[in-house]
Amino acid sequence: MERELKKLYLRFLKFFKKDYFLNVRKFSTSLKNLNIPRNVLEKFFSNYEKPPFLLFLKNLKDIVFSKTPFDFILKNYEEDWSLWRHIKFLEKESLIEIKKDGKIKILKKKLFSLIPRPKEEWEIKEILEKKMKRKINPKDFSPNFFFGNFFKVKKEFDQMPISQSSAIFLVKKILDYLPLKKFFLFVGDDDFISLYLTLVDPEIQVSVYDIDDEILGLIRKIKKKFKLKIETKKVDIEKEKNLEKKFIGFLANPVYTEDGVKEFLIFGKKNLSLQGGFCFLVFGDEGIGNRILFLEKFFAKENLVTLEKINQKIYYPHILLYEEDKEIKRRLKEFFPEKLIEKSPKLGATLYVFFSFPFKPKRIKFKRPMYAYL
């Protein structure tokens, strides 16, 4: 069935290219009088307009699984021309039908069953609570939902768990973007997001590579109980760089230093498929500061396009791991009640969502006015 999606993608490219050349020459007001040669338009299309296969699937997902197809425009900072192009192609392929109220009816459900459906946070919460037969505690540590206080973080691996509400948000964002139900990688998983994700959608196939034997063993325990599609492997990313399997996306929550972020991102990116992939990166500012500018430059150099940068949704509950944690708590107690400190976030983190392009666009030099949308 995935082969059918790839064939569909090739037919879309053919349809898109034909439509692109027609629109540029006939309807683009700023380009009508430029007489742009065909070979130049070919270069513009292949470098700037042609979507990779996985982004094409994400576009389909944003159209057929949204409340209204027009959500596609906002989710992808696109315009209505792009929406029409996708809708027209899907209708031409007899894959969808547009109902009178503007909603979409999927005609070939089996084909779209390969693409994970997005879910709201409340839906994710309901599914998890029903399966685990316990309540989500939004402000508690993410591992505690599965293991109570049994799992103890290890300072030597720089472990510190996010909150359960943060874990649910991460699952939501992965489901928003994930274009297929297979080969998603967790580069370390001391937050046990692999369990949250596969319990919500048991058809998703993931791999968890971590250096901690205990984490891998606990994941296998839940995997066995619920028959989840999780592969586990002990991996030290500083020593083992290239893996046998290739993935369509990964989640990394690295050491919060400039070098830590780079190390985890490079590892994940090296193990993506030839079609690129979606990269989810979580990190907070413990030791980066204005070096974020160096990281932003690094992202671009690595061919990573930022799709989203989200603050205020992922955080770490109060915890005392190091002497410095005790010291900052002592200082905060000069201003705040101890109970308030213990109920408040200790550290906020940013979620970056990237798409790793499988090719590097070339800069095409062509003299044109500033207002020429090409």
Which residue in this structure is represented by tokens 């799709």? Answer: 307
Please check whether residue 173 is in contact with residue 121, taking contact to mean a CB–CB distance below 8 angstroms.
no
The one-letter amino acid code at 105 reads: K
Q: Considering only CA atoms, which of 209, 187, 192 is closest in space to residue 264? A: 187
Q: At what angle do helices 2-26 and 53-64 cross, to 10 degrees?
A: 90
User: Domains, the chain, ranges and CATH?
Assistant: 2-112 (no CATH), 121-356 (3.40.50.150)
Q: How far is CA 29 from the centre of its chain?
A: 36
Strands (E), the chain: 96-98, 104-106, 184-187, 206-210, 230-234, 249-252, 277-283, 304-317, 345-356
**Per-residue DSSP letters for 90-126?**
HHHTTSEEE-TTS-EEES-HHHHTTSPPP--HHHHHH
For the chain, 374 residues long, the average pLDDT of each consecutive 10-residue run is 92 94 72 72 90 96 92 90 95 93 90 95 98 96 91 74 97 97 94 98 96 94 97 88 86 92 94 96 90 94 95 94 92 96 95 95 76 66
Instruction: For residue 315, give every residue at least 6 positions away whose Cβ sits within 8 Å of its Cβ, in sequence order, or none.
Output: 162, 163, 166, 345, 346, 347, 348, 349
d(CA 72, CA 74): 6
Please check whether residue 237 is in contact with residue 187, taking contact to mean a CB–CB distance below 8 angstroms.
yes
**Given the DSSP bridges, would you call strands 249-252 and 184-187 parallel, antiparallel or unpaired?**
parallel
Residue 129 has which token pair? 């609570």
Q: At what angle do helices 258-270 and 292-301 cross, to 10 degrees?
A: 20
pLDDT at 285: 85
Q: How many residues are listed for the chain in this entry?
A: 374
Instruction: For residue 174, give every residue at least 6 positions away whose Cβ sits within 8 Å of its Cβ, in sequence order, or none.
Output: 184, 193, 197, 249, 251, 280
Residue 219 has which token pair? 């994941």
Instruction: For residue 340, give every residue at least 6 positions away whose Cβ sits within 8 Å of its Cβ, in sequence order, or none.
Output: none
